[in-house]
Amino acid sequence: MQHLAPGKALDLGCGEGADAIWLATQGWLVTGVDISATAIARARREAQRQQASAATRFVTADLARWEPDDGPYDLMTASFLHSPVPLPRIAILQRAATTVRAGGHLVVLSHAALPPWVDAADHPAHSFPSPARQFVELNLNEHDWLVLSIQTHTRHATAPSGEAAELTDGVLLLQRR
C-alpha cells in the first residue's frame, strides 16, 4: 500500500487495529470495524499510543449488519476476515466494495490453507477458497473493476511448537475503474 496516495480507508475485521494504525501513520484516514469490543478498545489505546488517534476511527459492529457510513473510500481492506462461526463474508465484501470510489482499491488477504500444524480433520467446516474463486464469488461487474493481482504466496512463520513453518495466503487486489 506504500505506492498508493493516502486517502480514506476502510479496514474490515480490523481486530486490534494494527493495519489501520499502520495506514494512519502513512497518512491515511482510516475507519476500522470489528465485532469485538475488546479488540476495538485495544485498537483505540494503541492508536493513541502511536499518536494516530486523529487519523483513525474504530467501530464495534457486526459486519453482517453494519453499513459503511463514512465512505466513499480510496482503499478497502479485509485481512484474514475468517470466522469459526457462520459469517456472510462474500456479502460483507460485496457491500463494502460498493463504497470504493473510482480509482480506489480493494484488497483482500486471506488464508489459502490451514497452517501445517493444524489437523484438517479437526476443522472440517473450514474452507479456504483461492483468490481466483473469491473473485468469482464476489461477482463484481468486470467493467467496474480492474484486476491488479490474484495470487497465492507463502510466508515464513513459527509454529506454536517453535518450529519453522510456511503459511499460504491469498491476495486479491482490485482497482475500481
CA 3, CA 28: separation in Å to the nearest integer? 12
The answer as to whether 54 is a domain residue is yes
Residue 2 has pLDDT above 80, yes or no: no
Domain that holds residue 133: 8-176
Q: Looking at residue 119, what is its pLDDT?
A: 86
Q: Take residue 86 and report the three cell numbers written for it.
A: 457462520
Mean pLDDT of the chain: 95
With CA atoms as reference, report the closest residue to 98 among 88, 106, 87: 106
Q: Residue 41 falls within a domain, yes or no?
A: yes
What local confidence, expressed as pLDDT, does residue 73 receive?
A: 99
* β strands within 35-163, DSSP E: 56-60, 73-79, 100-111, 145-158
What tens digit of pLDDT does each residue of 116-138 get?
Answer: 998 887 877 777 889 999 999 99
Diameter of the chain measured on Cα atoms: 47
Q: What percent of the chain shows pLDDT beyond 70?
A: 99
How many C-beta atoms lie closer than 10 Å to residue 121's C-beta? 6
pLDDT band at residue 57 under the 50/70/90 scheme? very high
Question: Is 94 contained in some domain?
Answer: yes
SS3 26: coil
The pLDDT tens digits of the residues spanning 62-75 come to 999 999 999 999 99
Residue 71: per-residue pLDDT: 93
Is 82 part of any domain? yes
Q: What digits encode the pLDDT tens for the residues 75-112?
A: 999 999 988 778 899 999 999 999 999 999 999 999 99
Question: What is the count of structural domains for the chain?
Answer: 1
Q: Residues 30-58: what's their mean pLDDT?
A: 98
Residue 143 is classified by DSSP as T
| Domain harbouring 67, CATH code | 3.40.50.150
55 domain residue, yes or no: yes
pLDDT of residue 117: 92
Is residue 1 assigned to a domain? no
Q: Is residue 2 part of a domain?
A: no
pLDDT attached to residue 84: 76
Is residue 162 included in any domain, yes or no?
Answer: yes
60 pLDDT higher than 80:
yes
pTM listed for this prediction: 0.93
